[in-house]
Structure 1
Amino acid sequence: MELKPIDILSKYYGYSSFRKGQENIINSIIDNKDVLAIMPTGGGKSICYQVPALCLDGITIVISPLISLMKDQVDNLRASGIEATYINSSLSQNEYLKILNDIKEDKYKLLYVAPERLDSREFMDLVKDKNISQVAVDEAHCISSWGHDFRKSYQIIPYFIKKLKKRPIVTAFTATASLEVRNDILNILELNKPDVYITGFDRENLFINIIKSSSKNRYLLDYIENHQNESGIIYAATRKEVENIYEGLLKRNYKVSKYHAGLSNEERAFNQEKFVKDEIKIMVATNAFGMGIDKFNVRWVIHYNMPQSIENYYQEIGRAGRDNEKSECILLFMPGDVHIQKYLIDVGIENTNRKKIQYKKLQQMVDLVHSNNCYRKSILEYFGEELKEDCQNCSNCLSEGEITDKTIDAQKVISCIFRMKRSFGTTMIVDVLRGSRNKKVLEQNFNNLSTYGIMKDYSNEELKTFINTLIAHGYLEVVENIGTRGSYPTIRLNDKSMKVLKGELKVQFKESKVSIVKYMENELYEKLVELRANIARENNIAPYMVFGDATLNNMTKTYATTKEEMLNISGVGEIKYERYGKYFEDIIEKYLIEKNIDKNEVIKIEENSSQDSEFFEVTTDKDLFEKLKQYRIKKAKEENVLSYMILNLTTLKEISGRYPLNEEQLKDISGVGPVKIEKYGQDIIKLVKEYTQEKNITPKWQEKNKLKLIIDGDNRKNSEIVLDLLNQNKNIDDICEELEISISTSLGYVYDYIKSGNSINFNLNLKKYYSDDEREIILNAINNFGENNIRKIKYVLPDEIKYESIRAVILEKYL
């Protein structure tokens, strides 16, 4: 082995350490042992078989259930510089033949195949004599009839392995496996004295929230409105429900798509690709959208209907937060969900034993929903794992929301049902309580009841929700009635109902709150996201395959502008740095210059954070400033760049007033980082030393640290300076040149000033920044995306249209 596993992890994946359990699993495989590994979704299962594949001689065959999953994995490997491919039905004949030839020539380290392919004589003839180091079975729970995604084709795998000339290491990986499923995997795959690893099912970054007392539709719309800048998945039980939710969100102009078995393969693949590539934010789907979603930045998952099993539920919420960032998982429960799932089991499963198994799993899911204990603890117990303390990260643990006493309203409902003498459905009960004059109510003489019309203050939807909440908490019961036209549920009282009616039991509900994310505008992050999208588009891969969201966030926090700094960021390996690193460095460097940011000042830990902030005042030495400007002009000509890209004016003024005489002092100057010091540091120090000696100046150096820099007593922000100069009737082009900022930035300052309710006393010639044709195109984009979303507008416009053109057209209507 040329590289150790940790070296491979660093070089190809950009991580400095393994996650929990990964290293032990990898070492077992390298030691030629079979392995069964049960790890949570997002726990890094794929690395556990990919790293050994690069350590071992020969090729690793990965058996994977879905075409889309294979493609994502292979694209990700290729983006990291690893030779990998897949064989499935999506390939053309020429592509297929080329891959076969490449396999013969040992080009690949990893080959992904669907289980159905293992039964092909052509494929068997190709690989049976090859040096296969490992057969890795991904989503191994599919082999078990107890598994929630059972696939008969998976049972071909042990026969395929037996036909190989030499038995390879066999490894199996899954995220959700009960004891029965684990035993099936071990026995059916005939693993040879395997090392079994259960690294834990807990996903600590996921907040689990089960809502039993809110209108689903209202909650959903409120939630999406408050989280519209995040990626999320909405799971619904039926195609019809998916279509309804999708249409509703589409009408409200959300970037949404859909996925269910009623769509063609092409449409499903197209919609999924748009979601993975961040071209849409929301996917509405049935559980057909389960495996194969290798998207790292899903921030929330909402179950609009309760799933059939805890395995389904945990697998699906596991699509959130695969980058280990905090994410939210919400289940919107109504009693009708149980009936929907029973119906789906009845019509979808013919085998009696399988049906019994699924009914049992459904009841376990219902028990979870009604549990008053820590949801995470209950889920982990289901999978055989003990959580000693409550998680404090689920809605049962946290006391979010206000407790409200609903006893009187509950008594009104219960009293009405009691007086109606026999069981009726929710609709009839609501009609009586709200005082409806419909024919059925009057025929039953319910208009003469004392409870008739006593809950008019509730809307129809609100009252249905309240009754359903009473049912969910056990204060009422649902009875399934089978008739000639199918089943229909009715409501009846129980022991708890009568205790509430007699005042022996209080009804208290916690009103659910919709979490709010205030989207914080981060201009540098948006620039990096845009660059990532362009790179991904050029390479026909998903954006996260370039760098993940967390990696980009860390770039913005550390202002990484050197190879060393980039490689210190998790997710930036040597291969990815060589491919993409310089592009991101350039954007960050340019941003630091444009914004006059000293990154060392920003990222330095403040030792005395309790101290009050003070100003650090510097007075420009005009003579030294002019010498520095001449030096900057010279270097700009040599490098064929604009002068401000060498050092900006504020930096030159600060140098002239502080007289740094060594590299350590130069690091404390705003806008001077390691790259600048390496390029220009010695020249600047020499220039300053010669000047101070010539002028007989003895500098008294003082560290600036986190103090706010004030140059020549001017405490104004750039925006204030621009507006002041414009009010002095100075030309905006001259101002931008003087301050070394872009026209677009200056126009943005004017726009923000006007939108804050201020009026201006100067004129701007905006027409010179766009043509008539450009204006028409820009206006169309503004109508589609709104004037506040400059980045989206720029994205859809032709490349030749500049940011200042967009700003000018937007600003035009306010002047």
Structure 2
Amino acid sequence: MVNVAAQKILEEKFGYDQFRPGQAKAIDKVLAGENVLALMPTGGGKSLCYQIPALLLPGITLVVSPLISLMKDQVDALQENDIAATFINSSLSFPEIQERLQLAAQGAIKVLYLAPERLDSDGFRHQLARLQISLIAVDEAHCISQWGHDFRPSYLSLAPALAELPSQPPVIALTATATEQVAADICQRLRIPAANEVKTGFARDNLAFQVVRDQDQDRFLLDYLKLNPDQAGIIYASTRKETERLTQLLQRHKISAACYHGGLSDVARRQAQEDFLYDRVNVMVATNAFGMGIDKSNVRFVIHAQIPGSLEAYYQEAGRAGRDGLPSDAILLFKSQDIQVQHFFIDQSELDEHFKQTEYLKLQEMTQYANTPLCLQRYILRYFGEVTEQDCGRCSNCLDQRELQDITVDAQKVLSCVKRMHERFGKSVVAQVLTGANNQRIREQHWQELSTYGLLSHQKQKEVTGLIDFLTAAGYLQATTGQYPVLQVSPSGIAVLRGQAKVQRKQAAQAQRSLPVNDALFQKLRALRLSLATEQGVPPFVIFSDKTLRDMVRLQPQTDADFLAVKGVGQSKLDKYGQLFMAEIGAAADTPADEAAAASTNATTDSEKSVEI
């Protein structure tokens, strides 16, 4: 049953007439004083699960958040809705911190964001103890688990620090990516009953997942960006060097792009981030140093130019596309040699041997995702413990119309080679034997005498390695766990060897126009939004999301009541911006039809021209 007061705040403050799945349940439990874990996909509305209770509970709500940029974006958004919120982090001076704590003590603040490191200070915890704290929200809660992909030691002190608070407020932990093991770890550390795990499913219905294997990455990137112009997106690379190379490539082709990685100065990183958040550049090329908690809602695509280290990391980063619920792309450009980069990161880490083995296993799972012929969304959901028999119908595997090639003979050569090497070696060594490599190890082991030696010498070694990855993902081969996985032939692989089954594989993919074209009115509303955001010094999506602008285009509101019917418009936004946006919509409606048609034709022509590189 939906709390009536919560429903009223949802409508009046946030401009929505109904809760998303799981929100009402989580809010009800929090208001009942219970600890809760909210597992919801990115864009699923996790923040409302604590922001609405914050307005209903008598004291303040503390939000533990890992990144300064996330705090600022969320505080800006709350203040736009006339909700008293602020943050305390290392960007503030000591007097500024004391001033904000004083405001909180006076009841002038309803939501206070903190970095987890703040709770390490005895003095700061003593000051918090003086506040009337009614709720604790732990954002990005997967950081608390040593099994999570982004574990942060500073989160470990949360539980004992929160236990010291005199008011003993309820805790709500929130995350978009947590395996069953990570979720259990979060619940154990924060004393959340298993029955209070609110899990709405990890599926992202607006995301189209795509894997592009072993082809010209630069050509695909340029084609894709030219075919989908004027869209905001993130391109991830694993190394600083590759990040800089890709940024220069895009800029040479007149694509608006910025670069972000840990080797840049604080000033350079801040400038790049602001340029992206404020829509001054369309594309951010970055390492994984960029992004967790980035609240920009209109990211239309996330492209991984190199494979990340785990499916958790991939889904977290890919999930930054389409936070507003509009159709968006999540694309992985897979090259087998990129796996070695991640291997190097694990090898050079300070993890103990047990954790290293866990990371190697996660990388292996990520590699199999890149090569699976199954529905990509289903594969990801299965990894997170969510079993479904229904394909998504949107991913590159579901929509793949490319011709199937019969590769049974080549598959038999690979499988036979694994058998003749007694299933004791990994894919690199098997690929060397199949391509007829002539190195010291080959000679010492007398592998040149095997009947399978050189059977695929007409192919490059990386192509054969890619074939082995495909056969592993398809289940014809099995790889053991550990730093150096060993290949073994599965029962289905035996059937192929015996001629009882065939193996088929599809041809290379081509970039396509996949994102919706922005029409003339949407572009005008976006320009107005940018102008207002620039005046106020906030990111444009804080004013209105793309989804709200598209709803304005659909409804063409002319009165205050019409404007309130737009998704994402509450009374505060109506008072501030209603007349301005309705005037822009009215002016567009007065544009003669032939002028609008000409503008639309010109926009289409420009888009078609941009395909030429």
Indicate the TM-score class for this superposition, using the shorter chain for normalisation. Answer: 0.7 to 0.9
In 2: Cα distance, 1:586 partner to 1:245 partner: 42
- What root-mean-square deviation, in Å, do the aligned CA atoms of Structure 1 and Structure 2 show? 4.1
- What does residue range 422-441 of structure 1 map to in structure 2 within 5 Å? none
Report if aligned partners of 2:105, 2:130 keep a CA contact under 8 Å in 1: no
Report if aligned partners of 2:403, 2:507 keep a CA contact under 8 Å in 1: yes
Q: Does residue 553 of structure 2 align to residue 552 of structure 1?
A: no
Aligned to 2:467: 470
In 2: Cα distance, 1:107 partner to 1:193 partner: 35
Aligned to 1:317: 318
Query: For 1:12-64, what per-residue CA distance to the aligned partner results, in whole angstroms no more than 9, with x for missing partners?
Result: 11111110110111111111111111111111110101000001100000001
In 2: Cα distance, 1:544 partner to 1:121 partner: 37
Q: Does residue 590 of structure 2 align to residue 593 of structure 1?
A: yes
Residues 387 and 519 of structure 1: CA distance in aligned 2, closer, same or farther (over 3 Å): closer
Aligned to 1:107: 108
- What does residue range 332-731 of structure 1 map to in structure 2 within 5 Å? 332-404=333-405, 466-467=463-464, 469-474=466-471, 508-517=505-514, 520=517, 522-595=519-592, 717=594
CA-CA distance at 1:280 after TM superposition: 1.1
CA-CA distance at 1:335 after TM superposition: 1.6
Aligned to 2:301: 300
In 2: Cα distance, 1:411 partner to 1:182 partner: 42
In 1: Cα distance, 2:410 partner to 2:196 partner: 58
Aligned to 1:621: none
In 2: Cα distance, 1:402 partner to 1:254 partner: 33
Residues 153 and 592 of structure 1: CA distance in aligned 2, closer, same or farther (over 3 Å): same
Residues 125 and 278 of structure 1: CA distance in aligned 2, closer, same or farther (over 3 Å): same
Q: Does residue 35 of structure 2 align to residue 38 of structure 1?
A: no
Which residue type is aligned with residue 561 of structure 1? Q
The alignment partner of 1:594 has SS state of coil
In 1: Cα distance, 2:372 partner to 2:414 partner: 24
In 1: Cα distance, 2:17 partner to 2:408 partner: 57
Deviates more, 1:120-129 or 1:300-309: 120-129
Residues 543 and 465 of structure 1: CA distance in aligned 2, closer, same or farther (over 3 Å): farther
In 2: Cα distance, 1:488 partner to 1:314 partner: 25
CA-CA distance at 1:506 after TM superposition: 6.1
Which residue type is aligned with residue 323 of structure 1? D
- What does residue range 29-428 of structure 1 map to in structure 2 within 5 Å? 29-191=30-192, 195-404=196-405
Report if aligned partners of 1:299, 1:328 keep a CA contact under 8 Å in 2: yes
The alignment partner of 1:45 has SS state of coil
In 1: Cα distance, 2:339 partner to 2:577 partner: 50
In 1: Cα distance, 2:165 partner to 2:399 partner: 54
Residues 249 and 496 of structure 1: CA distance in aligned 2, closer, same or farther (over 3 Å): farther
Residues 78 and 407 of structure 1: CA distance in aligned 2, closer, same or farther (over 3 Å): same
Which residue type is aligned with residue 110 of structure 1? V
Which residue type is aligned with residue 91 of structure 1? L
Which residue type is aligned with residue 570 of structure 1? K
Q: Does residue 13 of structure 2 align to residue 12 of structure 1?
A: yes
Report if aligned partners of 1:299, 1:320 keep a CA contact under 8 Å in 2: yes
In 2: Cα distance, 1:361 partner to 1:242 partner: 23
CA-CA distance at 1:311 after TM superposition: 0.8
Residues 504 and 566 of structure 1: CA distance in aligned 2, closer, same or farther (over 3 Å): closer
In 2: Cα distance, 1:371 partner to 1:193 partner: 33
Q: When the two structures are aligned, how many residues end up with a matched partner?
A: 578
In 1: Cα distance, 2:160 partner to 2:484 partner: 48
Report if aligned partners of 1:410, 1:507 keep a CA contact under 8 Å in 2: no
In 2: Cα distance, 1:192 partner to 1:424 partner: 49
Residues 127 and 241 of structure 1: CA distance in aligned 2, closer, same or farther (over 3 Å): same
CA-CA distance at 1:504 after TM superposition: 9.3
In 2: Cα distance, 1:82 partner to 1:325 partner: 26
Report if aligned partners of 1:407, 1:508 keep a CA contact under 8 Å in 2: no
The alignment partner of 1:172 has SS state of strand
The alignment partner of 1:381 has SS state of helix
Rg larger for: 1
Query: For 1:745-794, what per-residue CA distance to the aligned partner results, in whole angstroms no more than 9, with x for missing partners?
Result: 9xx89x97xx99xxxxxxxxxxxxxxxxxxxxxxxxxxxx99x99xxxxx
Which residue type is aligned with residue 51 of structure 2? Q
In 1: Cα distance, 2:173 partner to 2:284 partner: 30
The alignment partner of 1:123 has SS state of helix
Query: For 1:195-242, what per-residue CA distance to the aligned partner results, in whole angstroms no more than 9, with x for missing partners?
Result: 221111111111111222422222222212212221111111222221
Aligned to 2:26: 25
In 1: Cα distance, 2:139 partner to 2:262 partner: 23
CA-CA distance at 1:406 after TM superposition: 6.7
Aligned to 2:442: none
Residues 186 and 328 of structure 1: CA distance in aligned 2, closer, same or farther (over 3 Å): same
Report if aligned partners of 1:210, 1:395 keep a CA contact under 8 Å in 2: yes
The alignment partner of 1:343 has SS state of helix
In 2: Cα distance, 1:592 partner to 1:431 partner: 69
Greater relative contact order structure (CA < 8 Å, 6+ sep)? 2
Query: For 1:60-116, what per-residue CA distance to the aligned partner results, in whole angstroms no more than 9, with x for missing partners?
Result: 000011111111111111111110000001113443333122122211000000011
Aligned to 2:447: none
In 1: Cα distance, 2:29 partner to 2:469 partner: 48
Report if aligned partners of 2:326, 2:547 keep a CA contact under 8 Å in 1: yes
Residues 14 and 520 of structure 1: CA distance in aligned 2, closer, same or farther (over 3 Å): same
Unaligned runs of 5+ in 1: 415-422, 433-450, 480-486, 597-716, 721-744, 757-784, 790-815
Which residue type is aligned with residue 239 of structure 2? T
Query: For 1:406-454, what per-residue CA distance to the aligned partner results, in whole angstroms no more than 9, with x for missing partners?
Result: 789999999xxxxxxxx9999999999xxxxxxxxxxxxxxxxxx99x9
Aligned to 1:699: none
Unaligned runs of 5+ in 2: 416-427, 438-453
Aligned to 1:778: none
Query: For 1:111-165, what per-residue CA distance to the aligned partner results, in whole angstroms no more than 9, with x for missing partners?
Result: 0000111122342232202211001111111111101111111111122212212
The alignment partner of 1:590 has SS state of helix
